[in-house]
Amino acid sequence: MVRLFEDEAAGKVAKLIYSIFHFQEIFTHIQRVNFPEITPCIYAMWHCHQMCNYGHPNFEKLNIMVSRSKDGEMIAQVIEHMGFKTIRGSKGKEGAVEASMQLISKLKEGEDGAIMVDGPRGPARVAKNGVIKLAKMSGVPIVPVTWYSSNFNWIKFPSWDKLEMPILDTRLINLYGKPIYVAEEDDIEEKRKELQSSLEELDIKAPEAFKEVYQWGLWKKKRSDSSQFRWNP
C-alpha cells in the first residue's frame, strides 16, 4: 500500500510538472544554432541542461536515457507526457547494460538518442565515458549541445546539478558543437576529454552566439516553429 501511494504521488507530481511545461510552451522561444542535421546520433549535454531536448525538431524520434532512481522515475513520466521516448534499464549494473543495448537498437533503427553525460549523480559538468562507449558500439556520432539565454527569467533548482528551467517569456538558443566520431581503434579516455572540452567550449561561446541571434531577431512564437541558424565565431 505504501509503495502504491508513492507511485500514485509520483504520477500526480509528474502530471503537475508536465502541465507547467505545457503552459510554458507558448512562452518558450528556441532557436537552434549550428544544428548538425545528422541522424542517427547521440546528443550529449550536461544534466543541468537536459531541458534543451525540448528544442529537438522530432520528439517522437528522440530516445532519452533516464536512470531508474526515484527522481528518474518522475522525470521519465514527465518527458513521456511531452512526447519523447525514454530508455530505462532495470536497477543495478545489469540495468545499465540493458539500457545501453536498448539505445543501440534504437540508433540502428535510425532514431536519435540523448544522454546527460554527467548524470545521474555527478559530479556536475564532468563527462563520463559511457556515451563514448555507446558511440563506438553503435557507430553513430556524438553531438554536444548546450542551451543559453541572457534573459533573467530562469529558475535554478537547488539540486546537485543546478537544473535550469525557463519561466514565462524566454528567448533562448540551443548551441550545437561539431560531431564527435568514435572509431573502433580510438582511446575511450581521449575521446571523453574531447567531449568534455567541446561542452566547456560551447558554454563559453553560448553568450556570443545568443547575442548574434538576438540581433537578427530570429525567434518564433512557438517551439514547433523553431528553425536553425548557422553561426561562425
Domain around 192: 2-229
- Going along 153-205, which residue ranges are E strands? 154-156, 164-166, 170-176
At 157 the pLDDT is 81
pLDDT in tens, the chain (233 residues): 233 335 566 677 778 878 888 888 888 888 999 999 999 999 999 999 998 998 998 899 999 998 877 667 778 888 888 889 999 866 666 678 899 999 999 999 999 999 999 988 889 999 999 999 999 999 999 999 999 999 877 888 888 888 888 888 889 999 999 999 999 999 999 999 999 999 999 999 999 999 999 888 777 544 444 456 777 76
Q: What is the model's pTM? A: 0.89
Cβ atoms within 10 Å, residue 123:
9
Report how far residue 151's alpha carbon sits from residue 86's, in angstroms, rounded to the nearest whole number: 30
Report how far residue 203's alpha carbon sits from residue 222's, in angstroms, rounded to the nearest whole number: 25
Residue 52 DSSP symbol: G
Domain count for the chain, please give it.
1
Neighbouring residues of 40: CB distance < 8 A, sequence distance ≥ 6: 106, 107, 108, 109, 110, 111, 112, 113, 138, 140
**Cell representation of residue 14:** 509528474
Nearest by Cα to 145 from 107, 173, 108: 173
Report how far residue 157's alpha carbon sits from residue 163's, in angstroms, rounded to the nearest whole number: 5
Please state at what angle helix 188-216 crosses helix 130-138, rounded to 10 degrees: 90
Report how far residue 209's alpha carbon sits from residue 126's, in angstroms, rounded to the nearest whole number: 23
Could you tell me whether strands 170-176 and 28-33 are parallel, antiparallel, or unpaired per DSSP bridges?
A: parallel
CB 62 within 8 A of CB 56: yes
